[in-house]
Structure formats: C-alpha cells, structure tokens
Structure 1
Amino acid sequence: MATPGSESIWLWLGTAGMTLGTLFFIARGWGVKDEKEQRFYIITIFITTIASAAYFSMATGFGLTQVEVGTQVLDIYWARYADWLFTTPLLLLDLALLAGANRNTIYTLVGLDVFMIGTGLAGAFASSAPARIAWWAISTVALLFLLYFLVEALSEAAKTQTESVRKLTNTLRNMIIVLWLAYPVVWILGTEGTVGFLPLYVETAAFMVLDLTAKVGFGVVLLRSHSILEEAGQTTPAAATAD
C-alpha cells in the first residue's frame, strides 16, 4: 500500500531525523569506556535505530494498513505501534537506570507501558467508533497510572543519587510526562479517534514531532554530560550514612 503523498514528507523527515540521531549517538559514545555509561548509549542507540526503521517502513508504505469503521476507511500506521512497543520501554529503562530504580520498579513501569501500548493498538484496529474510544480511554487511564508511578517511584529512587543525577532525572521525567500526555490528545482528535478534527497529514506531522522530541531530544539531554552518567548509581554521602 502506498503512503499518501501529503503524509509522506513527514514520515521521510522522521526517518531522516531518527537516523541522524542514531549516528550522532554512535559518534558521541564511540570512545566511552565506562561500562555503566555505555549502557545508556546502547539503550538510546537502539531506541532511535528502531524508530528510524519504523519510520522508513511507514514512509515506503509497508507499515500502513486500512481499517473500515462504519462508512469510513481509516489509514492506520501499524508500524508506529510496533515502534512504541519497543522504544517506550527502552526510554523508561534509560530513565529508571539513571535514577537507580530497583528491578520491581522497572518491571512495573515496563508492564504498565506495554499494557498501555497494547490497548492503544487494540483501539487502532477496532471496527466501531465506540469501541475505538473505549480502548483509547483504557489506554489513557493506563498512561495516567504509569506517569503517577513514574513520579512517585523515580523521585524516591533518585533521592540517593547525586544532585546532578537527580536534576537530570527530573528533567527527563518531566519531558516524558509532557510529551506522552500529548499523544492521546493527538490520537483522539485525529483520524484514528474518528473525530477527524486533525486531518491525517497534521496528525502524522504531530506524531513525528512528538516522536523526534521524545526519542532524539530525550537522548541528547540524557547523553550531554559524560560526568553525570558516570555518577549514576553512586549514592550521596548522606544516603550512604543513612544506609
């Protein structure tokens, strides 16, 4: 299936942006020797690599299908959900490792995230408008639980980190909160939510900008300081005394 021309430009821009981000992260992390720091580069590089492949598939028409909803035929970019299913847990893993979160916290975050994406995918393929909106509501509630847990758990975990690591954790956490809250708004107002207030090309452009900011932008902020990443996992003297 061919990608509609008006949306194609945004998908190719997304492909280029994710690819350039991947190359930038590879170049920046090339000489990193510290193993703890390397893991942040590895995770972040996989995030943008997966996203660039997903955008390429959408731009070339492979990641596109159609779903009949009543009298409407909706263009659904299923590759977008495949992207999110892999990249959003990796984003949370990056953030959780920076904050020094324990495994149970990571498992909970990833579980909520996968449930959120899975129910969103169900909404994208539902064949009636009420069912689509119901699945959207379920996915959005899961997102709210996820963000609440993100604030509570990571704030607690980051208390034992150095001040610079805490500040970076808070910055990235706030980025995720703001950006991720925008996704369900674009979805419900766009063609997939059947409201159609946002035409497909605007919806595609909005998702592309959000994706680039949430992945490449997130990575740039995370990896901008080698010294802060080296501090990740080091407890402050006060925390060590309390332990």
Structure 2
Amino acid sequence: MISPEQVAEMLYSASTTSKPGPFPTVVPTPTEYQLAGETGHRTLWVLFVAMTITTAVFTLLSWNVPVSRRLYHVTTTLMALVSALAYFAMAAGHASSLSCHAVRDPHRHGIPDTFHDACRQVYWARYIDWLLANGLLLLNLCLLAGIDGAHTLMALVAHTVGVLAGLFAAFGKEHTAQKWGWFTISCLGYLFVVWHVGLHGTRAVQTKGARMSKLWASLAIYSLAILAAYPIAWGITTLARKSDVNTEIIVFAVLDILTKPIFGLWLLISHRSIAESNIDLAGYWSQGLSSEGRIRIGEEE
C-alpha cells in the first residue's frame, strides 16, 4: 500500500520535471568586413612603382621625337601617369570606401532569422583610372585608324557611361535590380565602344595601307579583348563577391599592366617604323585649328 508521503513525493517530482526549460538565446553575428590584406597592399605599391617607371620610360622615348609627332608619346605617358597616381592613392589608403549590405542568418526551432552587415572595401580611384587612362587608350585607337570626330566622341562617351555605371553598381544594394541594371548599362557601353571603334576603325584604316591596317587590327583586337575582360572580372569579384579583396586587386593589376605599359610600348615601337601612323600636329600645337572657312562679322569682301 502506498503511503500518502509517497504520493506527495511523486506529484512533486512530476511537477518539477514538467517545467519548461529556458528559451534558446541567439548571439548576433558581428559585422563582416572584407578588406585588403598584406598581399593586396603590396600589390598596390608594386603597381604604383611599375606605372611610375612606365611613365618615365615613355617620357624618355619621346625625348628625340619632334613635338609635332609626339601625339602618341603624350597620350601613352598620360595613361601611365594617371594610373600611377590612382595606384598611389589606393596604396596610401585614401581612395576607398565600404559598400555594406545586410546578410540573412537563418535559425532553427522557430526562432526568427536575424541579419548582419557585410562591408566590402571598394577602391573608387580605380574607376577614375579606367575612365581617364582607358579613355586615352581608345583615343589612340581612333587616331591611329583615322576615325572621324563624331564616332570618336561617341566611343569616348560610351566608355564614360560604362565606367560610371560600374561605379554606381559597385555601391548599389546587394541582390537588387538596381545593381545589376547598372551592370547591364556598363556592358552596353562597352558594346557601343566596339561598334564605334572596331567597326568604323576597320573601314577607316583601310585607306592607310596594308602595314597600317595590320598594326591597327592587332592593337584593336588586343585592346578590345582586354577591355572585355574588365566587366567580366568586375562582375565576378566586385559585384558577385566571389573572391576576396586581395584576389580582386591582383586581377585588376594584371589587366592594368596589359592595357597601359604593354599597349603603350607596343604602340610607340610600332609607330616609329610605320610612316602612315604619323599625325602632323605642328600647326595645331602652335596655331590651333585652321581658320579657313570661318565667317567674320564686320569684314567686307
């Protein structure tokens, strides 16, 4: 027979074991920072030195060239100089900002999901470099082929739109139509560049002889292929964030080496041996554009 004391003890133990336990707590995830490391910083300084040396070399190559024939020397030197300044700004840490977006942290057992910020370092000086230096590269191709001013201007405008759209996309919100919309506009800008430079340049250069056509075709195919690699690498690294910042820096450093020092040296060496590539600007440097055909008010015939 069970005593009353045993019944009370059983009821007490049952009541204590049926008490609900404490609710699980959620520790918030701290802000995630994707920044350049030691490898990235070293790469930026190496590129600054490389672009500075390239600027000096291009300057020395123009030393014995007449002023009237220094057009390509001036443009290639400015390409390297702009890139050197941009890399100095990035290496010194004065040309980058953080692009942040919210990342969802899923939880189980009916606990609501939480969010944390992921902030990636974006070097905005890189876009200034691309806008100016790569714009000079396209100008060289247009001048070399003899493309008319209208198509040259449109090619440079399309290039400007493409670079600015890329900058807006880099700071756009993650996984939004706005961000990838800017990316699409940037790609369309590149296609317009190919249209104005590639198509019209092929037609214009044919009047300058076989040697000039061969040189221009080689430079154009090389340059436009490298420029096409920029939005591909940029979409994978900066927009999709499939790589760390160090890898992004190295990838763009390689592309910048291909578009500034190598292209510039190739152009200057080949330019010396082909007379058809010369553009005589003696009159323009000293007197400006020709005044023939201007209408002067107040003059009598």
**Same-fold call, TM > 0.5?**
yes
Between 13-22 and 123-132, the greater mean CA deviation after superposition: 123-132
In structure 2, the CA distance between the partners of 1:73 and 1:171, relative to structure 1 (3 Å rule), is: same
The equivalent of 2:158 in structure 1 is: 112
Q: Does structure 2 conserve the Cα–Cα contact (< 8 Å) formed by 1:223 and 1:229?
A: no
In structure 2, the CA distance between the partners of 1:20 and 1:110, relative to structure 1 (3 Å rule), is: same
The equivalent of 1:94 in structure 2 is: 140
2:49 pairs with 1:16 = yes
Counterpart mapping for 1:49-64 below 5 A? 49-64=81-96
**Paired residue for 1:25, among 58, 62, 86?**
58
The equivalent of 1:239 in structure 2 is: none
In structure 2, the CA distance between the partners of 1:207 and 1:88, relative to structure 1 (3 Å rule), is: same
**Counterpart Cα distance in 2 of 1:100 and 1:150:** 10
**Counterpart Cα distance in 2 of 1:100 and 1:161:** 9
**Counterpart Cα distance in 1 of 2:131 and 2:91:** 19
Q: Does structure 1 conserve the Cα–Cα contact (< 8 Å) formed by 2:135 and 2:156?
A: yes
SS at match of 1:129: coil
CA drift at 1:3: 5.7
Between 225-234 and 208-217, the greater mean CA deviation after superposition: 225-234
The equivalent of 2:242 in structure 1 is: 197
SS at match of 2:242: coil
User: Normalising by structure 2, what TM-score?
Assistant: 0.72
**Counterpart Cα distance in 2 of 1:101 and 1:162:** 15
Counterpart mapping for 1:217-236 below 5 A? 217-228=262-273, 230-232=275-277
Q: Does structure 2 conserve the Cα–Cα contact (< 8 Å) formed by 1:21 and 1:48?
A: yes
CA drift at 1:34: 5.5
The equivalent of 2:39 in structure 1 is: 6
2:198 pairs with 1:156 = no
The equivalent of 1:126 in structure 2 is: 172
CA drift at 1:226: 4.5
SS at match of 1:137: helix
2:125 pairs with 1:76 = no
Unpaired segments ≥5 residues, structure 1: 235-243
Q: Does structure 1 conserve the Cα–Cα contact (< 8 Å) formed by 2:152 and 2:197?
A: no
Q: How many residues align?
A: 230
For 2:263, the aligned partner's letter is: F
In structure 2, the CA distance between the partners of 1:61 and 1:4, relative to structure 1 (3 Å rule), is: farther
For 2:272, the aligned partner's letter is: S
**Paired residue for 2:75, among 43, 46, 51?**
43
Q: Does structure 1 conserve the Cα–Cα contact (< 8 Å) formed by 2:101 and 2:119?
A: yes
**Counterpart Cα distance in 1 of 2:36 and 2:78:** 25
Q: Does structure 2 conserve the Cα–Cα contact (< 8 Å) formed by 1:100 and 1:232?
A: no
CA drift at 1:233: 5.8
CA offsets 1:110-167 (integer angstroms, 9 cap, x no match): 1111111111111112133323222112201221222133211100110111222211
**Counterpart Cα distance in 1 of 2:95 and 2:74:** 25
In structure 2, the CA distance between the partners of 1:137 and 1:49, relative to structure 1 (3 Å rule), is: same
The equivalent of 1:142 in structure 2 is: 189
Using the aligned pairs only, state the percent identity. Answer: 27
Q: Does structure 2 conserve the Cα–Cα contact (< 8 Å) formed by 1:175 and 1:214?
A: no
CA drift at 1:68: 1.1
In structure 2, the CA distance between the partners of 1:225 and 1:34, relative to structure 1 (3 Å rule), is: farther
Q: Does structure 2 conserve the Cα–Cα contact (< 8 Å) formed by 1:98 and 1:229?
A: no
> Which structure is higher in helix share?
1
Q: Does structure 1 conserve the Cα–Cα contact (< 8 Å) formed by 2:134 and 2:259?
A: no
**Counterpart Cα distance in 2 of 1:3 and 1:74:** 9
CA offsets 1:13-59 (integer angstroms, 9 cap, x no match): 21111111111111111110161x30110011001000000001001
Q: Does structure 2 conserve the Cα–Cα contact (< 8 Å) formed by 1:95 and 1:169?
A: yes
**Counterpart Cα distance in 1 of 2:44 and 2:85:** 11
**Counterpart Cα distance in 2 of 1:72 and 1:229:** 54
Q: Which has the higher contact order (CA 8 A, sep 6+)?
A: 1
User: Normalising by structure 1, what TM-score?
Assistant: 0.89
Q: Give the RMSD, CA atoms, in angstroms.
A: 1.7
Larger C-alpha radius of gyration, 1 or 2? 2
Q: Does structure 1 conserve the Cα–Cα contact (< 8 Å) formed by 2:271 and 2:278?
A: no
Q: Does structure 2 conserve the Cα–Cα contact (< 8 Å) formed by 1:19 and 1:52?
A: yes
